[in-house]
Amino acid sequence: MNGKKLNQLKELIYEINDIKMATAVLAWDQETYMPKGGIQDRAEQLSTLNKISHGKFTSSEIGDLIKELKSEIKSIDDESNDVRLIRVLNRTYNKAVKVPASLVAETSKACSIGQQTWIEAKNKSDFSLFKPCLELIIELKKEYAKIFSPYASIYDPLLDDFEPGLKTTDVKKIFNELRPQQVKLIQQIREKKEIDNSFLFREYDIEKQLGLGKDAITKFGFDWDRGRQDKSAHPFSINFGIGDVRITTRLDKNYLPMALFGTLHEAGHAMYEQGISQELRRTPLGHGASLAIHESQSRLWENIIGRSKAFWTYFYPELQKTFPKNLSDISLNNFYKGINKVKSSFIRVEADEATYNLHIMLRLEIEIGLMEGSISVADLPSVWNSKMKEYLGITPKNDADGVLQDIHWAMGAIGYFSTYALGNLVSVQIWEKINQDIPDISSQIEKGEFSALLGWLRKNIYAHGAKFEPQELVQKVTGSKINPAPYVKYLSEKYGEIYSL
């Protein structure tokens, strides 16, 4: 491969990456510390930077370099960093070059304003405040998707942004296989005596909650020299490079799991980013393989580890010591059952493992309907409530607990939601492989030892960054593509034991 041309391309890519990371800093500040009055200025700043980075990336100079280098990679190791970089750049360039810079700028501005408006609408539980912003965002996303026609579904280009290579029909097939089995399990659980988890709703000091979460993820291996934690209205993780990965947490003094498990979840995302090989930094390979793979890591640390009996065998004494008045009368077994209680709930991020995927399927159907035109933005509150009743047997009392609970649409992240459920499936596939390679992993966790687990994840998943497409990576690591069967088995065994099914 022409080394001079490759280095020339990399220098151009590094510059674009730096602009994107600066954009990410502004986006993080918008969600954490920016005063409310700064939204118009911030929207314009982000719009300008996104327009600049898009324009630089879609330049003919980069296109010519990619084309020339692509013709030279056939004889080189297919899994080398340079070959994979050219492949990813070729794919993303061919997609990006079709999108007008004006559309990128307009969408960025609309989403910045949309996010701030969403916060106000959610606080007031009034969807009508957010409706005009969302209508604009949906129209812009339709305009974006139509650029890539013909397609089997207008939703395909949006899904592809988050899950390279996956099609809407692929996701529907996976969900159609998963849905009836999860519904059957939930019905079996509903026939059993309800678990008492009222102790989770006692008053828990917020600062102590933050401290506990910090202690837990420090044990996991979160690198505080390359990360930090802040508060936000909606928890998220974000990175400005492998050396600066940040998480945010939402807290509730009357509900312990919100901050605790939210912290474990976001730390899972962050540790993934912190574990990417330094060789990939400042390139399109220097981030997670996809949103589903990313979500597999957050759900693995939050649920498979964080809600396991093994983890709480180790960590529960510390929790009781921190909140003696709240938990001194609660046994380890009752606490374990309480944090794994299955019950239909309004809020996705607080949903239990058995019902969580139904929240995602609901959102996927709505997104497809919005894009295809069978659902209008004006009808969203009623459509949402109807589907909640159909899927989970409950109806939200207000917009804040219903259609306004997620920030994703305000961010323009249409096509994102299915990755959450796909991540659940992948997390269990990975967990099965970990148990094969580290047979005593559960006993290690009971002792508070996580170094072997983190080391395995870094070697097999994290270090690769985005070198491999999601299905390729899952196949490489587990021996199979994304498959719902292991997840159904995991749920059946775990909740079969908890509920004596």
Q: Over range 415-421, report the average pLDDT.
A: 93
pLDDT at 455 over 80: yes
| Calpha distance 485→488 (Å, rounded) | 5
User: What gap in Å lies between CA 475 and CA 468, rounded to an integer?
Assistant: 10
Three-class DSSP category at 238: strand
Selection from 465, 361, 408, 423 nearest residue 158 by Cα = 408
Q: How confident is the model at residue 293 (pLDDT cuts 50, 70, 90)?
A: very high
Containing H/E element for 91?
helix 81-96
Question: Is residue 1's pLDDT more than 80?
Answer: no
**What's the chain's average pLDDT?**
95
* Calculated CA dihedral for residues 23, 28, 33, 38, nearest 10 degrees: 40
| Residues forming the active site | 266
Q: What is the pLDDT of residue 42?
A: 94
| Residue ranges matching CATH 1.10.1370.30 in the chain | 168-499
The confidence score (pLDDT) of residue 73 equals 84
Q: How far is CA 402 from CA 320, 343, 347, in A?
A: 34, 17, 8
d(CA 130, CA 171): 29
List pLDDT tens digits, range 337-388: 999 999 999 999 889 999 999 999 999 999 999 999 999 999 999 999 999 9
Measured on CA atoms in the order 398, 402, 407, 411, is the torsion positive or negative?
negative
Q: What is the pLDDT of residue 400?
A: 96
3-state secondary structure (DSSP) of residue 216: helix
Q: Is it the case that residue 445 has pLDDT exceeding 90?
A: yes
Residue 381 CA to residue 127 CA, distance in Å, equals 8
Distance CA 192, CA 436 (A): 33
pLDDT in tens, 37-46: 999 999 999 9
pLDDT computed for residue 70 by the predictor: 92
Q: Average pLDDT in the 476-492 region?
A: 95
Instruction: For residue range 210-251, list pLDDT tens digits in order.
Output: 999 999 999 999 999 999 999 887 789 999 999 999 999 999
Express as a percent the part of the chain with pLDDT over 90.
93
State residue 76's pLDDT score: 81
pLDDT interval class at 165 (50, 70, 90) = confident
Which H/E stretch holds residue 106?
Answer: helix 101-124
pLDDT of 495 reads 96
Q: Write down how long the chain is.
A: 501
pLDDT score, position 78: 87
Q: What share of the chain is helix, strand, coil (3-state, %, to 5)?
A: 70, 5, 30
- DSSP assignment of 308-347 equals SHHHHHHHHHHHHHHSHHHHTTS-HHHHHHHHT-----S-
**Which residues, at least 6 apart from 83, have a Cβ–Cβ distance to it below 8 Å?**
73, 76, 77
Decide if pLDDT at 166 tops 80.
yes
Model confidence band, residue 288 (pLDDT cutoffs 50, 70, 90): very high
Tokens of 473: 């990576």
**What digits encode the pLDDT tens for the residues 67-78?**
999 988 877 888
Contact present, 414 and 131 (Cβ < 8 Å): no
Side-chain-side CA neighbours of residue 386 (13 Å): 8
Q: Which two tokens stand for residue 231?
A: 């508060």
Hunting for tokens 């964080």 — which residue is that?
A: 306
Q: What is the pTM of this model?
A: 0.90
Largest CA distance in the chain: 69
Q: Which residues pair with 239 in a beta bridge?
A: 245
Beta strands, E only, 94-236: 227-231
Exposed, middle or buried: residue 36 (CB in 10 Å: 0-12, 13-18, 19+)? exposed
Would you list the DSSP string of 300-314?
A: IIIIIITTSHHHHHH
Mean pLDDT of the 99-116 span:
93
Please answer whether residues 443 and 255 qualify as being in contact, where contact means their C-beta atoms are separated by less than 8 angstroms.
no
Q: Find out whether 213 and 260 touch, Cβ atoms under 8 Å.
A: yes
Q: What is the pLDDT of residue 75?
A: 74
Q: 168-499 domain in CATH 3.30.70.380?
A: no
- For residue 474, the model assigns a pLDDT of 96
pLDDT of residue 3: 87
